[in-house]
Copies of this chain bind each other. A is one copy, B any other.
């Protein structure tokens, strides 16, 4: 399973398919995201794209979230971070030292989640797992 990295035209096409216009600001945001690593904040994007209004940044992030292009990572404190969604369903590692975010998938985990249904009242509709780590960089340092 190669990390299916989508290029900006692809991402814009997804928006277009949903009936949204391809505008200058949206192009700018998507281009910026493409160059970005894992785990960026909305306010950070505002700082790096001063030519685009803050409201538009937030609107575009919401749009990309709804389109499944971004995933939102609610941290234990502070503003949420976003990452380009490379896989349909996956989880995240967060370094508690430096905040670096990584992706991973684990099929055993998904199987277990199905099994867990029996222990839980009601019907499972989804789940979210965050693994807190000290990343390699922080271990070395």
Q: Which residues of A contact B (CB under 8 A)?
A: 72, 74-77, 93, 95-96, 102, 104, 106, 108-109, 112-113, 115-116, 119-136, 138-139
What's the minimum C-beta distance from A10 to chain B, rounded to whole angstroms? Answer: 25
Kindly list chain B residues whose C-beta atoms are within 8 Å of the C-beta of A130. Answer: 127-129
Pairwise interchain contact A122-B93, C-beta atoms closer than 8 A: yes
Pairwise interchain contact A128-B125, C-beta atoms closer than 8 A: no
Kindly list chain B residues whose C-beta atoms are within 8 Å of the C-beta of A119. Answer: 104, 106
Copy number in this complex?
2
Cα separation A74 to B81 with both chains bound (whole Å): 13
Pairwise interchain contact B113-A131, C-beta atoms closer than 8 A: yes
> Can you name 30 A-B pairs with beta carbons within 8 Å?
A72-B76, A72-B77, A74-B75, A74-B77, A76-B128, A93-B122, A95-B122, A96-B126, A106-B119, A108-B112, A108-B115, A108-B116, A109-B112, A112-B112, A113-B131, A116-B131, A120-B131, A121-B136, A122-B135, A122-B136, A123-B133, A123-B139, A124-B132, A124-B133, A125-B133, A127-B130, A127-B131, A127-B132, A129-B129, A129-B130
